Every structure is written in C-alpha cells, then in structure tokens.
Amino acid sequence: MPSNLRIIAAYFLLATILLAPRAFGDAPSLVGDYREIVHEEKEVSGHFVLGMMSPGQHVPSAQDMTVWIPAEEADRLCVSIRSIDGQFEAIGQYDINETETGSWPISFKPTSTHRRLYKSYRVSELALDARIGDDCNDHEAVSRVLIGWGKPTTAKSVFFVVNSGEHSGRIIVPSRDDPNDYHEFECKLIESDRKRVAFHSICAIADVSGLDISQAWFELWRFGEPIDDEILTIIFPDAGMRERQ
C-alpha cells in the first residue's frame, strides 16, 4: 500500500498536468508589427473583392476586431485594413498555428506617424479583409475568413467591400441543397462625401442560411452583361460565431 504522502503527491501531479495551459488554445499572436502604408495616388488591389465582413456591435472606434478562425490547418492569419479612398493601408500577420477554432478578438493601433490620418476615417470607411494560409504572400493559396469591427454576434449575415470601378456587380451563391440553384445579391454604391473613392460598392447577404457560401463568386457587370468574375475562396462558419473574452 502506498503511503498517504505518495497518494497526495500523485494527486498534485495529476492536477498540475490537467490544469496546465494548453498550447492548442493560444490566441492569434501578432508577428512583428502592422505595416502601415500611405498611398499618395489612388491604390487598389488587383482583385475586385477586397474584404468580407460581418456586421459588428459596440464599435466606438476602428480598433477592436473579431476574426473567425476555422478548423483548417494554417500557420498564418493575414489581415488588411484599407480606407475607402485607397490612401491608408495596414497589413498584419498573426501566428495561428496553435489557435483553436472559434472567434477571437484582435486589435490594431496605428503608429503616431499615421494616427491622425487613420482617425479621420469613420468605421464604415475602413474595409477589413482576413485570410488564412501558410504564406500571406502566396495569394493563390489563402482562403478568406470572416472578420468584423467590434464584436460580431452571429455569422448569419455578411457583406463584401468591392472595387467595382463604378460598374455594377453581384455576388452569386449556390444553394446548399441544390448546387444548380443560384442566388444573386446585387451590390450598391457606397455613399461617401470623400473626393477620392477606391472601393465603390458593398454587396450584402442578409441571411446565409441554406447557402453554400464557400462556392460563391463575384461578377462585374457593364451595360447589362457580365464582363469579369472572381472566385472568392471562402471558409465560412457553419453556425454562429463563438465569442471569446
């Protein structure tokens, strides 16, 4: 029979193992600093769709964000913040190799050099884009994930910020039960009093239930005819986002 001291020691050892921090639950960790860029000329990405966002709540300033990390294995979360006029851009990379699936809070604080310019934008004038992959520079091998300002309460609705060149556009999404049943969501021009606009449209989907948004694509239209398109490559949560404190 082991002594009582040995039994107690064994219990302490077991408790230490069970209560120890688990690496797989690590929050996204910022790698280095955000790279902030100010474009004197109007600057936009080569792609039409520049951000997929979830409506947020409690957004006092453009600083706190919530991003959804899927179960897919990936090393990096790639986040970009772009102003509607294409002048300000901030790019950050996060290590998510040990991050558990779910929604996570992240934040961005501009440097003192660009703080005044950044704070001149309203939250609605700053587009977010989040993607995951092993290399943020490999644009063909990253997938778009959901992100939003503040604390998004659900993944039910989503909207896309688009560089449409003032042409009309629409998001095409097949039904989950019938891939040949397509739903179209037209984009609306963004109302802004800024003289320079790089992102012209917002395409909103009020309810993604029953839709296979992972198979969605964007079409650019002119004179009533599609002239170009872009596959969106989305990994989307199946249910509501699980918020972490």
* 230 three-state secondary structure: strand
What's the burial of 92, exposed, middle or buried (CB within 10 Å: 0-12/13-18/19+)?
buried
Task: State how far the Cα of 190 lies from the Cα of 166, in Å rounded to an integer.
Answer: 10
* Mean pLDDT for the stretch of residues 125-149: 92
Q: Which residue has the higher pLDDT, 227 or 74?
A: 74
- What does residue 6 show for φ and ψ, rounded to 5 degrees? -65, -40
Residue 7, pLDDT score: 33
* Mean pLDDT for the stretch of residues 188-194: 80
* Mean pLDDT for the stretch of residues 129-158: 88
Task: State how far the Cα of 114 lies from the Cα of 19, in Å rounded to an integer.
Answer: 43
User: What pTM was computed for the model?
Assistant: 0.82
Residue 9, pLDDT score: 36
Most confident of 55-69, 133-147, 153-167: 133-147
What's the burial of 99, exposed, middle or buried (CB within 10 Å: 0-12/13-18/19+)?
buried
Task: State how far the Cα of 88 lies from the Cα of 85, in Å rounded to an integer.
Answer: 8
Confidence of residue 44 (pLDDT cuts 50, 70, 90): low
Residue 221, pLDDT score: 85
- Express each pLDDT in 15-42 by its tens digit: 332 233 333 468 999 999 999 999 887 6
